[in-house]
Amino acid sequence: MNKLWRLLLPGLFLFLSCEKAISFKPVRQAPKLVVEAIIEDGKYPLVYLTTSLDFFSKISVQALSQSFVHGADISISNGILTQKLREYSIQTEGYLLTYYTIDSAGNGEVFRGELGKEYSLKITADGKEYTATTTIPQLTKQVNSLYFETNVDKHDSTKIALFARFSDPPGLGNYIRYFTRVDEEPYYPGLNSVYDDQVIDGKSYNAQVDKGVDRNKSIDFNNYAFFHKGDTITIKLCNIDKGVFDFWKTMEYSYSGIGNPFSSPTKVIGNISNDALGYFGGYAVQYSSIIIPE
């Protein structure tokens, strides 16, 4: 035994002598413009502009309120008409929410989103110009019907699982994003809200529809996906283009890695020029509802 220790100890000391304390000073990045711009068929465009917060910043109501960008020059074109957007602010949840949309006073040409059309966005803020394009696709992939199953939890008889029958047209490249609403609550996107048709191209199929989540609140991963008896449920199914799909796919993958030291770093793929963050997205929307009996 003593002979074994005499053999092991030199290696142990060598190993310990190789340890080195590592310290680093995080680099603080300059704020970037963050864009969330959407246009749905039948609706006016809507744009939110903020500046990014540093990774080590303390999130507060004041910090969020101060992150909104004011006085930006924003225009959207459908290839024929160009409309300049106007800035509005409303008080909500303890802070002032700023957004840009059409001028309600009726100054200039205005238009709503249309199926199958391409749109271009131009933003000038703090002396820099940013551009992006998106398409509102045709409403090709749709929900054919909704149904539900009970007895999904022996400990909670009120819990139900929602299912939908979908139809996907032949030909790859049909992308969707979905949201759910319960009663008169807001629409929330699914935890994984975007899907392509690599596996189900040209098929009709049934799939469970998970309840959308509010990412500002903690998520119970054992129960978040289910609805309950008595709910009135509305599904908002959106056909989107690949740019919107890529943004939300990488964004949601990035969300899933938060707090996981073993996750791989993910670059979120936006479609705004000049190194801005975020996306400009077109949505072709179908609404489907179902009432779950008590």
In a domain, 166, yes or no: yes
Average pLDDT of span 179-196: 97
pLDDT at residue 4, as a whole number? 45
Q: In this structure, are 63 and 120 located in the same domain? A: yes
In a domain, 129, yes or no: yes
pLDDT at 12 over 50: no
Q: In this structure, are 146 and 263 located in the same domain? A: yes
* Domain edge (last residue) among 105, 135, 165: 135
In a domain, 201, yes or no: yes
* Domain edge (last residue) among 135, 154, 175: 135
pLDDT at residue 259, as a whole number? 53
Identify whether the C-beta of residue 41 lies closer than 8 Å to the C-beta of residue 285: yes
pLDDT at residue 264, as a whole number? 67
pLDDT at residue 53, as a whole number? 78
Q: In this structure, are 252 and 160 located in the same domain? A: yes
In a domain, 68, yes or no: yes
Domain, as residue range, for 38: 33-135
pLDDT at residue 98, as a whole number? 95
Average pLDDT of span 91-97: 81
Distance, in Å, from the CA atom of 137 to the CA atom of 199, rounded to the nearest integer, reads 20
Rounded to the nearest angstrom, the gap between the alpha carbon of residue 18 and the centroid of all alpha carbons in its chain is 45
Where does residue 1 rank: exposed (0-12), middle (13-18), buried (19+ CB within 10 A)? exposed
pLDDT at 124 over 60: yes
Confidence category of residue 190, pLDDT binned at 50, 70, 90: very high
Using left for φ > 0, alpha for ψ between -120 and 50, and beta otherwise, residue 155 falls in alpha
What CATH code is carried by the domain that includes residue 187? 2.60.40
Q: In this structure, are 130 and 158 located in the same domain? A: no
Average pLDDT of span 188-202: 96
Q: In this structure, are 125 and 168 located in the same domain? A: no
Tens digits of residue pLDDT in 41-53: 999 999 999 999 7
Number of domains in the chain: 2
Q: In this structure, are 106 and 208 located in the same domain? A: no
Tens digits of residue pLDDT in 241-292: 999 999 999 999 988 766 555 556 778 999 999 999 999 999 999 999 999 9
pLDDT at 107 over 70: no
* Domain edge (last residue) among 118, 135, 152: 135
Q: In this structure, are 157 and 69 located in the same domain? A: no
* pLDDT, mean over the chain: 88
